[in-house]
Amino acid sequence: MPRSPEEQPPAPRPPYRVCFVCTGNICRSPMAEAVFRARLEEAGLGALVEVDSAGTGGWFEGRGADSRAVSVLEEHGYASGHVARRFLASWFPLLDLVIALEEGHLRELRRLAPTPADAAKVRLLRAYDPRASRDLDVPDPYYGRREDFEKCLRMVEVASEGLLAAVRTTIEERAA
């Protein structure tokens, strides 16, 4: 016998969705995706938040992450499975937060956004780092050395703590 509307369980809330975006989706954004996914799991929020990454350009679509990024991630205990892809404007309605790794990505993503509400979803990752200076870019390590990938990882790790706090607050507000 069908249940009355009062007896129906509440519809499950869709997961909160976050997408990290850099230039080619082979260095910074896959690192940010891996770190943030790990932070969510540690916080017990892995089932409530979906994390992804993409690039503003499609030069590396279908390829894995840069081997230096993979090496640094794995040495620090992060999972590193990844396939590069390009960010599409059609994704905006499906996402709650689009995290740019530098100011150029922020501008490009906001121009790409179909609505002002979608543009408002785009934020800089280091804006979540209370110790960050006025320069909120995560420098691109691609043309650098291994140390540049290590530096990128440290910046991502610190900012991910603040991002985690913000996402947790949003999830709690949604549940209330």
Active site residue 152: no
> Which segments of the chain are extended strands (E)?
16-22, 49-55, 97-100, 122-124
What 3-state DSSP class applies to 131? coil
Question: 76-79: long-range contacts at Cβ-Cβ below 8 A with a sequence spacing of 24 or more?
Answer: 76/153, 77/38, 78/31, 78/34, 78/35, 78/38, 79/34, 79/37, 79/38
CB 82 within 8 A of CB 65: yes
Catalytic residue among 19, 27, 28, 68: 28
Distance CA 105, CA 21 (A): 7
Find the catalytic residue in 17, 63, 85, 140. 140
| Residue 147 falls in which region: left (phi positive, over 0), alpha (psi -120 to 50) or beta | alpha
22 is catalytic: yes
Indicate the DSSP class of residue 86: B
Distance CA 67, CA 72 (A): 9
Pull the structure tokens for residue 102. Answer: 């530098």
To the query of whether residue 118 is one of the catalytic residues in this protein, the response is no
Catalytic residues: 22, 28, 140
